[in-house]
Amino acid sequence: EDPIVEVTDAKVTFDGGDTYVLDDVSLDIERDEVLGIVGESGSGKSMFASALLDSIPDPGVLSGEILYHAEDGRTIDVLEQSDEELRQFRWEEISMVFQGAMSSFNPTMKVGTHFKETLKAHDANVDEGMEFARELLEDLYLEPERVLDSYSHELSGGMQQRALIALSLVLEPEVLVMDEPTAALDLLMQRSILMLLNDLQKTYDLTLAFITHDLPLITALADRMSIIYAFQFVEVGTRDQIIADAGHPYTRALLNATPNLDAPLSEMQPIEGEGPAPVNVPEGCSFHPRCPLATEECVSDDPPLENIDEDHQTACHHWEQAREEITLNYGEST
């Protein structure tokens, strides 16, 4: 194992500590892996993404430790960086792509200008940088000259999102964090961008952290997956461990909500109820109000994330029972 990012007890609080939106989460991201981080909207997954870059929106307060291990052997303590150090770190080491390219591009600036400004702001060689930008755009099946010479509104949603991915890679970061980068696009475009990311990841030895509510989407790409519920990771494992052998009732419900990758959307069965709001997280296991296996123990004791197999952790008192009694129909062929 060779972690590139080590997150230990990351916590984000609002209101002076009464409300939290990330609850003491710990997770390693391995160098050159594709990590899928899956959760419903409002589960804390975007907070986790922002935490990696110490960019939690005000007035949130982030504590814990986030270590980044650079290629050259340096270890960077992310939460101890100065503003200037962070500014460099955010493009050159860990870069981030958000949902909605529309709002990421300045509508009054050509796409090419965004690339140049980004290179200048990081004292990079603009000619060399633009050369690399063209290469990246081509890797993403875009016509470099046309895209660079356009305003973002002149491009389709899928083209904008690909241009944004190219921009996020122009300073050659090691890690790319993507928060629902394809959620605004149609299914076909989502899948094709995922394939492109798969190629880019290999070409440039990238580490990808892909954050999504769409579990089947990410199973096509991920080496490992972590499932977040109510501001905590409830399960972490390899793709195959999660798909075939999940121990957490929530993971199993998510899998069953989406019978297989090719199923029509109409066949998906959303799981009952909603994740809790930050002010309203249940005592004990926070999933107990929605869990078919909940017992007294679940109501009173919060289960820790523990090893159930090698490299596979689950936070559930009854994971063995879950495996036996919650039958998976995920992946059954049509």
Q: 45 or 248: whose CB is closer to ligand SF4?
A: 248
Site string for ligand SF4, 205-244 (x = CB under 6 A): ----------------------------------------
Place of tokens 């959760």: 39
Q: 102 or 281: whose CB is closer to ligand SF4?
A: 281
- As a whole number of angstroms, the distance between CA 303 and CA 316 comes to 5
Which of Mg ion, ligand SF4, none sits in contact with 166, Cβ below 5 to 8 A by type? Answer: none
Kindly state the tokens that stand for 251.
């993971």
- As a whole number of angstroms, the distance between CA 186 and CA 104 comes to 19
Query: Interface residues for ligand SF4 in 238-277 (CB under 6 A)?
Result: 248-249
Q: What's the Cα-to-Cα distance from 264 to each of 187, 226, 260, 261, rounded to whole Å?
A: 11, 25, 9, 9
Query: Interface residues for ligand SF4 in 118-137 (CB under 6 A)?
Result: none
Query: Interface residues for Mg ion in 37-76 (CB under 5 A)?
Result: 46
Q: What is the dihedral of CA 30, 32, 36, 37, to 10 degrees?
A: 50
Q: How far is the CB of 12 from Mg ion (least distance, A)?
A: 13
The residue count for binding Mg ion (CB under 5 A) is 1
Query: Judged by CB under 6 A, does residue 287 bind ligand SF4?
Result: yes
Query: Interface residues for ligand SF4 in 298-317 (CB under 6 A)?
Result: 298, 303, 316-317
Q: 137 or 293: whose CB is closer to ligand SF4?
A: 293
Q: Looking at 24-32, 116-124, 142-150, 286-294, which segment touches ligand SF4 (CB under 6 A)?
A: 286-294
- Is residue 181 within 8 Å of 161, Cβ to Cβ? yes
Question: How many helices (H) and strands (E) are present in the chain, helices listed first?
Answer: 13, 12
How many CB atoms within 10 Å of residue 62?
Answer: 18
CA-closest candidate to residue 65, choices 53, 83, 77: 77
Q: How far is the CB of 270 from ligand SF4 (least distance, A)?
A: 18
Which of ligand SF4, Mg ion, none sits in contact with 252, Cβ below 5 to 8 A by type? Answer: none
- Is residue 43 within 8 Å of 35, Cβ to Cβ? no
SS percent in the chain: helix, strand, coil, step 5: 40, 25, 35
Q: 11 or 45: whose CB is closer to Mg ion?
A: 45
Which of ligand SF4, Mg ion, none sits in contact with 290, Cβ below 5 to 8 A by type? Answer: none
Query: Judged by CB under 6 A, does residue 326 bind ligand SF4?
Result: no
- As a whole number of angstroms, the distance between CA 181 and CA 140 comes to 14
Question: 311: left (phi > 0), else alpha (psi -120 to 50), else beta?
Answer: left
Q: Which residues bind ligand SF4 (CB under 6 A)?
A: 248-249, 285, 287-288, 291, 293-294, 298, 303, 316-318
Q: Which residues bind Mg ion (CB under 5 A)?
A: 46
